[in-house]
Structure 1
Amino acid sequence: MSTSTLDLISKIEVQIRFAPEKLENLEKIYSSVFPEFVKWPKGNTTVRLHKEKQFVCAYIQAKSLSEIRAALNTIHSWLYIAARILGENV
């Protein structure tokens, strides 16, 4: 019986950082996306949002690659839409 390396993974952690072109948009992007994070955790996925210097950061913790992928896609969409509404070139 063979065990895949992926079967041995018990936790995956990812952090993404988003830097707006205009620093004054940082707080607006953070504030517009933050309410969506109140709905987490979803299943085995936990997401935390915070500001770090000129970045909006999302820390994601999950138990599978598919959960990480789903969270990354969702977070990317939220940040992208907020930035585009504020006139950012993303």
Structure 2
Amino acid sequence: MVTEEEIETVSKLMKIPIDNHKEYVEKVHTMIDYFDILDSAGVESEEISMQEISISKLRDDEYIPFDEKLIEKLNHYKRTYVRAPKMSS
């Protein structure tokens, strides 16, 4: 299974500061257990039906020039930055 050292290595590679690696080991084990449940669901025999679409029925890509500056069309922008709403944690 996953070790604290592996969690620490991954967090360093992703540049995510993690104080309690043991907490994430337990979370990863819970996720792996959940995937094991999904794997044992036995859906190999289920067939997924999808309607095939011929390539000739798809529309042709078409270049449409846009002469205006798109950023000027945004409501909240300052020079080259766009102000987004605050995210709550």
Do Structure 1 and Structure 2 share a fold, with TM-score over 0.5? no
Kindly indicate whether structure 1 or structure 2 has the higher relative contact order, using CA contacts under 8 Å at least 6 residues apart. Answer: 1
Q: TM-score normalised to the size of structure 2? A: 0.27
Relative to its length, the structure with more strand (as a share) is 1
Q: TM-score normalised to the size of structure 1? A: 0.27
